[in-house]
Structure 1
Amino acid sequence: MRAHLLLPCPVLLALLIAPVAQAGDAFSDLLTQGKASLDLRYRYEHVDQDNALANANAQTLRTRVGLHSGSWYGLSALIEVDNVSRLGDPDFNDSRNGRAGYALVADPDGSEVNQALLRYDTALGHVVVGRQRIELDNQRFVGGVAWRQNEQTYDGVLGRFEPLDGLSLTYAYLANINTPFGPDGQHGYPTNPADIEGHSHLFNLAYAWRPELKLAAYSYLLGLDNLAVAPTAAPGSQSSRTTGLRLSGALQSVGYTLEYARQRDYAGNPLSLNGHYFLGELSYQQGGYLLKAGHEVLSGGDGPGNRAFQTPLATKHLFQGWADLFLITPAEGIRDSYLGGSLPLLGGSLQAWYHHFRADEGGDRYGTELDVAYARAIPVVKNLSAMAKYARYDADAFGVDTDKFWLQLQYRY
């Protein structure tokens, strides 16, 4: 983890002078009230694409060990280490192993410090310094990419100021981003380096006024110096300033979300950006049953190169289909109309989603996708859960027909 000089901001100063929310009895509480954690996640992933690549069959095990300290006058610490290991033959391209003849399963082998942080809690919020997990709103713009075996974490400082019930102001300064493609392979990977270098600032204001209305306003200034929008594009071509407003809420069982954002170039991006984002969503939830329909737009861009609206720090697997065909927005943009939901079944949860993809500019039909998953706890072993998951993308004017299937076991202690 790199060391950087972090400039204070008003939010951080307010937190540092605020009264302590909870004080430990003694310095020894840091150790005596600490606890260890263990997370084991085995996954089998199969990828079959209608192209010249051989089918991928990947078996990986993610082992995560953590040590959480107790609290002493609001101060606590966390260290967490991950190891991702391949099991069996390397019949897949993990983006680093040189198996370019196979379909991609982006879970490279390696060990890395996932989190290493100091946290200070007060009555008005908290400050976190070090390598940490950051998830803002629904993770459409900033998330942890927890689906991949190597999680995305951030080196920097985050402060959250909560002066009133339901109101929070978050600021984060990012000096480095540890991507799911790490820990190895920094140079020669313009679209997926192990670490994204640069200086970024995240501002997020959220106010849960009442269940019928929750508001989030944000501005994310991303200086991503070594991240390119395409293998042949210039470094920094995903640096951007994204500013938006998100409204959500629920009227009894009916929920809604409306969101709009604008994106401009930032931090010396050689491409001139002027993109927009729109999301409209309606849902119905009763007990364990959920039905949801939505429409999401990431605009295309004018001019040479790919100037479409991008979300480089998002947890992208949550959006636009589990087959992950649109991790980088195409130059013509994308319109995603989707319908799906979940229901309880046999002690677990079954969910299914259907997506219809079109270009934002020109209206070309990219393709459709069907996603289905079933997950449940294993009753005979405490803290053990299992999941089966399937994605089928039928290509039209973008990509190729793609089938993906996963089996997963996860144990948490």
Structure 2
Amino acid sequence: MRANPLLLCPLLFAATAPVVAQAEEHLANLFTQGKPLLDLRYRYERVDQDNAGEHADAQTLRTRAGFQSGSWYGFSGLFEVDNVSHIGEERFNDTRNGRVQYPLVGDPDGTEINQALLRYEHGRGSAVVGRQRIELDNQRFVGSVAWRQNEQTYDGALAQWRPLDGLTLTYAYLDNVNTPFGPDGQHGYPTNPANIEGHSQLFNLAYAWRAELKVSAYSYLLGLDNLALAPAAAPGSQSSRTSGLRLTGVRNGFSYALEYARQRDYAGNPLALNSHYVLGELGYQYGGYLAKVGYEVLGGENGPGNRAFQTPLATKHLFQGWADQFLITPADGIRDRYVGGSLPLLGGSLQVWYHDFRADQGGAHYGKELDLAYSRPIPQIKNLSAMAKYARYDADQFGVDTDKFWLQLQYRY
């Protein structure tokens, strides 16, 4: 990680901190007030695709162990290690095992440091240096990809300043992205390297004026030197500068989200980008019941190569259906009309979502998707939860018919 002025933020905050009596702070607090962390997640995933000779059956276990320190004059630390291991026969393509006769289940085996960071908090500011989880707004552009067994974390520095109540200014500098496809396989994987190299900067201004209106203005400058749109595409073809405005609010159970963003090429991207993003969403919640309808557009652009609006650092599984058919936006873009919601059921929560996908340019009907999920805590066993989940993508003019089914158990301590 190259030197950056942001690394001095903890010292700058410390220099302006009020003097605290020595009796109130002890270096030992870092350990005596800390806590061990343990997260075990078992998952069974089955994938059936019309173009695959075999269906995929994947059993994986993610083991996360770490330690969250206590605080000493605003300083604290966090360390986590992840191990992902398959159970039984590898009847799936994890992107690294060469079993290409099976559909993709992107959870390769490996052990890696998930987070290792130093944090400083004081008054209206904070700073974090090291390997860390970053989730901005609804994770549509920058997220942790926590659905996959090996989540996405970032090497760099992040600072937040809250000069006024409700106003948060966030800046981050990144020089490496640890993707869900790590830790092995850096070269020869242009579309899914273990680490995305390059220098990126994230700017985000969020102002919660009142419950009815929260405004987020952002600009994400992503230099992704070794990430390509396709195996034969040029490296860096997902580098971009994305700037936009997001409005959200809640009143009397009704909620809304409105967003617009523009994406242009950045950091030597060989493609000339000029595409747009639009979101309109309306929801209503009453008690544990939620209903929502939305319309999302990732614009397509004419020209050589795929110049459509891309979201390379997003938590993509949260958007455009759980079958993950649009991890790379098609060249003609995509328009996603969706409706769904959740309701309490038998001590847990049931979700139902329906998507209809069309091209932004040309109007081709890509397909439709139905998503179902039920999750609930396990009675009598604290911190243990279970989930069953299903996604059915019916292809029309894009991709192939795909069914995905998951069973999951997770324990957190």
Q: CA deviation at 1:14?
A: 6.2
Q: Secondary structure at the match of 1:30?
A: helix
Residue matched to 2:99: 99
1:339-358, aligned counterparts within 5 Å? Answer: 339-358=339-358
1:51-90, aligned counterparts within 5 Å? Answer: 51-90=51-90
Is structure 2 residue 210 aligned with structure 1 residue 210? yes
Residue matched to 1:318: 318
Answer whether contact 1:20 1:121 (CA < 8 A) is retained. Answer: no
Q: Secondary structure at the match of 2:30?
A: helix
Partner Cα separation in structure 2 for residue 253 and residue 211 of structure 1: 11
TM-score normalized with structure 1 length:
0.97
Q: CA deviation at 1:102?
A: 0.4
Answer whether contact 1:21 1:123 (CA < 8 A) is retained. Answer: no
Cα separation, partners in 2 of 1:320 and 1:45, compared to 1, 3 Å: same
Residue matched to 2:219: 219
Partner Cα separation in structure 2 for residue 125 and residue 18 of structure 1: 11
Partner Cα separation in structure 2 for residue 21 and residue 81 of structure 1: 36
Partner Cα separation in structure 1 for residue 308 and residue 231 of structure 2: 16
Partner Cα separation in structure 1 for residue 264 and residue 116 of structure 2: 33
Q: CA deviation at 1:16?
A: 5.0
1:4 maps to amino acid: R
Residue matched to 1:139: 139
Cα separation, partners in 2 of 1:101 and 1:20, compared to 1, 3 Å: farther
Q: Which moved more, 1:9-18 or 1:182-191?
A: 9-18
Answer whether contact 2:175 2:198 (CA < 8 A) is retained. Answer: yes
Answer whether contact 2:52 2:103 (CA < 8 A) is retained. Answer: no
Q: CA deviation at 1:396?
A: 0.2
Deviating 4+ runs (over 3 angstroms): 8-18, 20-24
Residue matched to 1:328: 328
Q: Secondary structure at the match of 2:241?
A: strand
Q: Secondary structure at the match of 1:31?
A: helix
Is structure 2 residue 155 aligned with structure 1 residue 155? yes
Answer whether contact 1:80 1:114 (CA < 8 A) is retained. Answer: yes
Residue matched to 2:47: 47
Partner Cα separation in structure 2 for residue 53 and residue 313 of structure 1: 31
Q: CA deviation at 1:151?
A: 0.4
Q: Which moved more, 1:119-128 or 1:8-17?
A: 8-17
Cα separation, partners in 2 of 1:117 and 1:21, compared to 1, 3 Å: farther
1:106-121, aligned counterparts within 5 Å? Answer: 106-121=106-121
Q: Secondary structure at the match of 1:8?
A: helix
Is structure 2 residue 176 aligned with structure 1 residue 176? yes
Is structure 2 residue 383 aligned with structure 1 residue 388? no
Residue matched to 2:242: 242
Answer whether contact 1:20 1:74 (CA < 8 A) is retained. Answer: no
Partner Cα separation in structure 2 for residue 21 and residue 108 of structure 1: 49
Partner Cα separation in structure 2 for residue 232 and residue 124 of structure 1: 47
1:231 maps to amino acid: P
1:371 maps to amino acid: D
Cα separation, partners in 2 of 1:112 and 1:382, compared to 1, 3 Å: same
Partner Cα separation in structure 1 for residue 412 and residue 274 of structure 2: 44
Alpha-carbon RMSD = 1.5
Partner Cα separation in structure 2 for residue 157 and residue 372 of structure 1: 38
1:337 maps to amino acid: R
Answer whether contact 1:262 1:275 (CA < 8 A) is retained. Answer: yes
Cα separation, partners in 2 of 1:20 and 1:46, compared to 1, 3 Å: farther
Answer whether contact 1:212 1:248 (CA < 8 A) is retained. Answer: yes
Partner Cα separation in structure 2 for residue 341 and residue 21 of structure 1: 50
Q: CA deviation at 1:34?
A: 1.1
1:397-412, aligned counterparts within 5 Å? Answer: 397-412=397-412
Partner Cα separation in structure 1 for residue 339 and residue 211 of structure 2: 24
Answer whether contact 2:216 2:245 (CA < 8 A) is retained. Answer: yes
Q: Secondary structure at the match of 2:5?
A: coil
Q: CA deviation at 1:251?
A: 1.7
Query: Is there any run of 5+ residues in structure 1 with no aligned partner, and where?
Result: none
TM-score normalized with structure 2 length:
0.97
Q: CA deviation at 1:53?
A: 3.6
Answer whether contact 1:241 1:263 (CA < 8 A) is retained. Answer: yes
Query: Is there any run of 5+ residues in structure 2 with no aligned partner, and where?
Result: none
Q: Secondary structure at the match of 2:371?
A: strand
Cα separation, partners in 2 of 1:13 and 1:358, compared to 1, 3 Å: farther
Q: Secondary structure at the match of 1:317?
A: helix
Deviations 1:320-342 (A, max 9, x none): 00000000000000000000000
Cα separation, partners in 2 of 1:10 and 1:215, compared to 1, 3 Å: farther
Deviations 1:259-314 (A, max 9, x none): 00000000000000001000000000011000000000000011111000000000
Residue matched to 2:303: 303
Q: CA deviation at 1:124?
A: 1.2
Partner Cα separation in structure 2 for residue 13 and residue 273 of structure 1: 39
Partner Cα separation in structure 2 for residue 361 and residue 12 of structure 1: 48
Residue matched to 1:193: 193
Q: Secondary structure at the match of 1:163?
A: coil
Q: Which moved more, 1:200-209 or 1:5-14?
A: 5-14
Deviations 1:44-90 (A, max 9, x none): 00000011341000000000001111110000011000000000000
Q: CA deviation at 1:194?
A: 0.2
Q: Which moved more, 1:48-57 or 1:364-373?
A: 48-57
Partner Cα separation in structure 2 for residue 145 and residue 22 of structure 1: 39
Answer whether contact 1:45 1:58 (CA < 8 A) is retained. Answer: yes
Q: Secondary structure at the match of 1:216?
A: strand
Answer whether contact 1:15 1:124 (CA < 8 A) is retained. Answer: no
What percentage of residue pairs aligned between the two structures are identical? Answer: 73
2:5 maps to amino acid: L
